[in-house]
Amino acid sequence: MSHRESEVAIGAGFDARYWGLPAGRPGAWVFGDDSTAEIVTGSVVDGPLSQGVARRESLDSFTRWQGFAAGQDTADGPEFAAGLEDGLRALYGSTAGEPTAELLDIAATTPTRPTSRVNWMLGLRSAPSEAHRRGSMAAGVILSGSDEWWGIADNKDLAISGPPVRTPRRGAWSSLASR
């Protein structure tokens, strides 16, 4: 008798164990830190967006994040908001001509394509600023419904501005286990 994992509906929320992550995020983690970026992007590329469409809660959260970031009075806020939009565009293979609201409607009805998710991940490397890169990364995390697990809303200012001292990448799982 073969063992088969049960199907996971994206509407069921983010079950980290299904995506190869621990049930709970071990310790503190700063969003956008280089030491965990590989795991974060992997959780988007192979996560819920690879299996279905974004949930309404995730789309609403994206809109709230975009408004919050755009309203910041630092240079990082608008850059993060621009990154959110660029991340959304990359995940859905869109050009710059479509309004964000229209793209969110598409996200509610159309799954991402594997090439779009990989292009999103590769695009993180060429972001014009760190805040823009964090915003683009946040787009994938938020639309996946994994923002709570990753803890990006724990400190929105820190998510937007990033850590004062960046932790270098040491290896995927060692970075999570040591926190």
Report yes or no on 107 lying in a domain.
Answer: yes
Domains identified in the chain, total number: 1
Q: Flag whether 155 is in a domain.
A: yes
pLDDT in the model for residue 13:
59
The count of C-alpha atoms lying within 13 angstroms of the C-alpha of 60, restricted to the half-sphere facing its C-beta, is 3
* Amino acid 54: pLDDT: 92
- Do the domain assignments include residue 53? yes
pLDDT value, residue 33: 67
Asked if the structure places residue 32 within a domain, the reply is yes
Give CA–CA dist 143/78, Å, rounded: 19
Query: What pLDDT is stored for residue 155 in this prediction?
Result: 82
- Residue 160 forms part of a structural domain: yes
Please tell me the predicted confidence (pLDDT) of residue 22.
67
Angle among Cα 30, 44, 110 to the nearest 5 degrees reads 135
Q: Answer yes or no: is 15 within a domain.
A: no
The per-residue pLDDT for 14 is 66
**How confident is the model at residue 32, as a pLDDT?**
61
65 within domain boundaries: yes
Domain extent at residue 96: 27-177
Below-70 pLDDT ranges, the chain: 1-35, 165-179
Residue 129 burial by Cβ neighbours in a 10 Å radius (0-12, 13-18, 19+):
middle
Task: Describe the crossing of helices 114-123 and 37-45 by its angle, rounded to 10 degrees.
Answer: 160
What integer pLDDT is reported at residue 169 of this predicted model?
52
